[in-house]
Amino acid sequence: MSGHRFFLPAVHVAGNRVSFPPHTSHQISRVLRLKIGDVVEVFDGAGQEHCVRLEELGREALGAIVRSFPSQSEPDIFVTLYQGLLKGKKLELVLQKCTEIGILRFVSVQSERSIAGEPSESRFERLLEIVREAAEQSGRGVVPLVEASRSLAQGLAEAAVRGPVLFLWEEESLAPLPAASDYQAGSELSLFVGPEGGFGEAEAASARAAGAEVVSLGRRILRAETAAIVASALVLQGH
């Protein structure tokens, strides 16, 4: 196998035939310079993977499925990262690295210390592309969801009905982040990380009132993007 891996929605798979859309076909033939007969890996974003032998190259490349199998790379717990809106490249870094780590769903939240605004339509498309590329590169079987932002109160309310909620707050000193082993396979977990400047005291109180566990990553204050990556890795370790 060539080692090249592509995400294709299930609509591009019909029986044992795979059709590659124009932008992927261009990458295959013009950028990677793959040839007819080469075998690539395709995943549909829903946990199914295929080894595909290229049969036609052109504007829309075609291939035949050699074998199919369920993805073995997805975590056995389901983690949503509720990330305080971040400026510039910081949000892109969080989405890329936390996709690699195994986050299943991303939701931006607006909080009292948020500096960044809602991403524009073009930037949101760029964020989706970053997540897709990170899923391809890291061997994920699923492309994580990236959802429109909501208020912190809305995020806490919806997370509370899904399962345990961890709310990172740098002023919490007594409650460490729970160990990954505390969560059984099939668990659904929500992780809240603040924007630049973190969450405020009133927001931490509202999180407790909503049923969240307010926790700490230690005595040192991490940047928001660092905290998101570290916390995601810790809760998904071994899963």
145 pLDDT band, cuts 50/70/90, is very high
Residue 239 has pLDDT above 90, yes or no: no
Hey, which residues does 176 pair with through a beta bridge? 216
How far is Cα 72 from Cα 52, in angstroms, rounded to an integer?
Answer: 18
Task: Give the chain's mean pLDDT.
Answer: 92
The three-state DSSP-derived secondary structure of 55-121 is: EECCCCCEEEEEEEEECCCCCCCEEEEEEECCCHHHHHHHHHHHHHHCCCEEEEEECCCCCCCCCCH
Encoding tokens for residue 204? Answer: 């931490």
Q: Which pLDDT tens digit goes with each residue over 159-198?
A: 999 999 999 999 988 899 988 888 889 999 999 999 999 9
The pLDDT assigned to 2 comes to 57
Nearest to 186, CA basis, from 37, 74, 27, 52: 74
Q: Tell me the CA distances in angstroms from 15 to 9, 12, 66, 88, 216, one per residue in order.
A: 14, 10, 11, 43, 50
| Burial label, 35 (beta-carbon count in 10 A; 0-12, 13-18, 19+) | exposed
Residue 109 has pLDDT above 60, yes or no: yes
Comparing 98-107, 110-119, 143-152, which segment has the lowest mean pLDDT? 110-119
Residue 45 has pLDDT above 80, yes or no: no
Which sign, positive or negative, has the C-alpha torsion 71, 72, 78, 81?
A: negative
The boundaries of every CATH 3.40.1280.10 domain in the chain are 78-236
How far is Cα 80 from Cα 106, in angstroms, rounded to an integer?
Answer: 6
Dihedral pair phi/psi, residue 165, rounded to 5°: -125, 125
The pLDDT assigned to 139 comes to 86
Q: Mean of the pLDDT values across residues 44-61?
A: 89
Topology annotation, domain 78-236? Alpha/beta knot (3.40.1280)
Choose which CATH entry (3.40.50.300, 2.40.240.20, 3.40.50.150, 3.30.1360.40) describes domain 5-70. 2.40.240.20
153 and 117 in contact (C-beta within 8 Å)? no
How far is Cα 72 from Cα 56, in angstroms, rounded to an integer?
Answer: 29
The boundaries of every CATH 2.40.240.20 domain in the chain are 5-70
